[in-house]
Amino acid sequence: MSKQSTPLASGWTLHLADGGSIPATVPGSSHIDLLAAGLIEDPYAGRNELDVAWVGRADWRYDTVLPNVPEGCEQTDLVFEGLDTVATVTLDGVELGRTRNMHRSYRFDVTGLARGGTPLSVFLTSAYTEAEALRERLGPRPNAYPVPFNYIRKMACSFGWDWGPTLVTAGMWRPVRVESWNTARLASVRPLVTVADGVGRVEAHLAVERTEPGEARPLLVTLEVDGVLATTRVPAGSTSSTAEVQVPDPALWWPRGYGDQPLYTCRVVLADAGTGAELDVWERRIGFRSVRLDQNEDAHGTAFTITVNGTPVFARGVNWIPDDALPARVTPDRYRHRLRQAAEAGVNLVRVWGGGIYEDDAFYDACDELGLLAWQDFLFACATYPEEQPLRGEVEAEARENVVRLMPHPSLVLWNGNNENLWGFRDWQWEDELAGDSWGEGYYLGLLPRIVAELDPTRPYYAGSPWSGSWDHHPNDPAHGTSHFWEVWNRRDYTDYLKDVPRFAAEFGWQAPPAYATLRQALPDEDLAPDSPGVLHHQKAEDGNGKLNRGLAQHFSAPATFDDWHYLTQVNQARAIATGVAHWRSHWPVCAGTVVWQLNDCWPVTSWAAIDGAGRLKPLYHELRRLYADRLLTFQTREGARVLAVDNQSPEPWAGNANVRRLQVDGTALAEETIAFTVPPRSVATFPVTTEIKDRHRELLVADAGELRDIALDCEDHEFAYPPAEMTLVPAPAADGFTLAVTAGTLVRDLLLQADRLAPSAQADTGLMTLLPGETRTLTVTGVSLSDLTPGALRAALFTVNET
């Protein structure tokens, strides 16, 4: 009889401190259950986060009874795919085991105990209790935040971050099941997938667990890929085996924009060699591709270039955080939707950040299908991590499990040791404070690379981000390896991005508030202002609003109203990221990637995200679509002189003419030049611009090549003589909404329709756009009909720099 699995997804109750109980959801958490029962208010609304802080400090108990399990099986296991986090599991009052790691699964042998109606309990101790006790025992370690998340293997940002709420979860956050089986089962399958000389090779390394009666039985393993089969005999008593197939001329898997994403079913069947009976099956989708990390030294320093199938890739990336502060709520459909949004913005790489989780397989499945390269951090972020037991054993166990779990995915191209910890040791006074205590270096430079080399030699490992490749260079040296750029935003204007040409910009970002409707839904009764209580509560960054305002003051006059502040901070965010991406992208192949902080949010908050916590697109998202398109036209500077950068990351040559005009603010053409260009595939060329602005307060440069455009001023916006915006608006009904044709009577700078002000469900297909006098652009709005709009609503939802 094959292995049988019985989900334990219903019939659970959560017990309360007063002795009562409420229905519970599994997978889920105590916050989710308390919300469903109406016992707490939405922690994302108002300042409710503070009112539910007690939930994370409390201990909890979940109860259910086992369903009927198959009879006649030699072994029965109780399997928890994810326990969050410090748990004691009992069955009929018998303790099965204790856990202390959210990032791994647990399996308990319940043979002879598992019968229908048997009571099952999971006791969950507050993560604070565990972490604080371990800190007391091991001694203090430096941390970027004042909570001991570095003493427990749990999603670090549960304890709060500079973009996230403090919601310390507890529960069974991934599925629970009972497995019944005979003779043997596949404990793990580790497929090494390689391709060389036109032949795809799959070498499947198997770990087998046997029952006591199954010890004496020989087994058969069949590996099948694309109709090619290999059968291997596993001798009696053996608990490991290897099977290999070779697939001739496989179609290669490519990142999006470089080719297709063919996926092949890889199937492993374990059978009894004597009877031929099928015992267990493992099935995943794989892709044939090679990946290498180019770290060669050259005249510019040390490269960091991801190469797929021998082709260097410019990484158009985004950083990913957990999409919900209550991660059990993230469904496969939600993963797919969010990642499709990334792909539609031109993204080809998603970095899973080290303060979150190893995401569900549904995340990586979507990356496989969409051609999104996945960079996976091991889960260490912004702190020193003790290397003593029990943490060291937990770190090794979770790393081994997740490397094996995720390695079938062709989208996964890089294992990264940590986020900012090597940098922090050198620059954040950690070295002196530690006074020789362990802090994680042994993980990043020892344990983790050994595990990856042993289990997954098909992929590169890198010790951290930022990291220069060795202690011979500063960890955040832009000339070597990966770099993070946080002095910009924290202390400097975004124009300072122009001072560096990094080998790989792995983190940089600029804040802006979420969409207006997102703020209004989170703060329904508040008189919104930049410093109103609720708005400030939904700003978690240290002096976040101060940095926003100082950033605005560099470029704009002080906003007179909240609406102006809200709009201008979003403009500033888009311009900041455009400055960095366009500059660094123009230096390809010296700079081999930009990974914007960040794609998504986990709740409604002012943050660096392009998609806010309610899933609404900020202007930055639309700007990323321009910046991450295959072809980009921008004004840049080389050796003090203005040039036009023609950036062609497409697979075809790009030939054409760029028209550069010097215009007065009223649209009058004062000078013009044509730049003929031919740029090979995956290349950038720069061309001198001879046309110069004479009156920096009233003139601008405009470069056009086909549908691409860039605009340059020689002064800040608050110094430029913008005219009052004149626009003619012509709306027309359309499917699911309407179109809006906007004709500019004057120069209209950074026009934005905030569609969510028309209706919370409304979306526009266009972000910031600049129109010259006489030009017309047509936007499409969905989620609201013209008949639902009040007179003047459209004009009130339109914002432009001219009017702030």
Catalytically annotated residues = 420
Q: Give residue 655's Cα distance to chain centre.
A: 35
**Residue appearing with tokens 């001991």:** 148
Burial 219-240, CB ≥16 within 10 A → b, else e = bbbbbbbbeeebeeebeeeeee
Count other Cβ atoms within 10 Å, centred on residue 782.
16
Instruction: Please list, in sequence order, all residues whose beta carbon lies within 8 angstroms of the beta carbon of residue 431, skipping any fewer than 6 positions away.
Output: 425
42 CB neighbour count, 10 Å cutoff: 13
Omega before 466 within 30 of 0, i.e. cis: yes
With tokens 């497409």, the residue in question is: 650
Cα separation, 109 vs 634, whole angstroms: 62
Handedness of CA 595, 596, 601, 605 (dihedral sign): positive
CA dihedral of 295, 298, 300, 302, whole degrees rounded to 10 = 20
Q: Which residues, at least 6 apart from 232, have a Cβ–Cβ distance to it below 8 Å? A: 220, 221, 222, 223, 241, 242, 243
Q: What are phi and psi of 397, to 5 degrees?
A: -65, -45
Rounded Cα–Cα distance for residues 505 and 465 (Å): 10
User: Distance (Å, rounded) from C-alpha 85 to C-alpha 398?
Assistant: 13
Let me know the angle formed at the C-alpha of 514 by 509 and 515, rounded to the nearest 5 degrees. 135
DSSP 8-state symbol, 791:
T
Q: Which helix H or strand E contains 416, and what residues bound it?
A: strand 412-416
Counting beta carbons within 10 angstroms of the beta carbon of residue 560, is it exposed (0 to 12), middle (13 to 18) or buried (19 or more)?
A: exposed
Residue 734 burial class via C-beta count within 10 angstroms: exposed 0-12, middle 13-18, buried 19 and up: middle
For helices 361-370 and 391-406, the axis angle rounded to 10 degrees is 40
CA 127 to chain centre: 24
| 21-23 and 708-712 beta bridge pairing | unpaired
Q: Cβ(696)–Cβ(713) under 8 Å?
A: yes
Q: DSSP labels for 602-626?
A: SSS-BBS-SB-TTSPBPHHHHHHHH
Q: Pairing between strand 291-294 and 106-109? A: unpaired
End-to-end Cα, the chain, rounded Å:
73
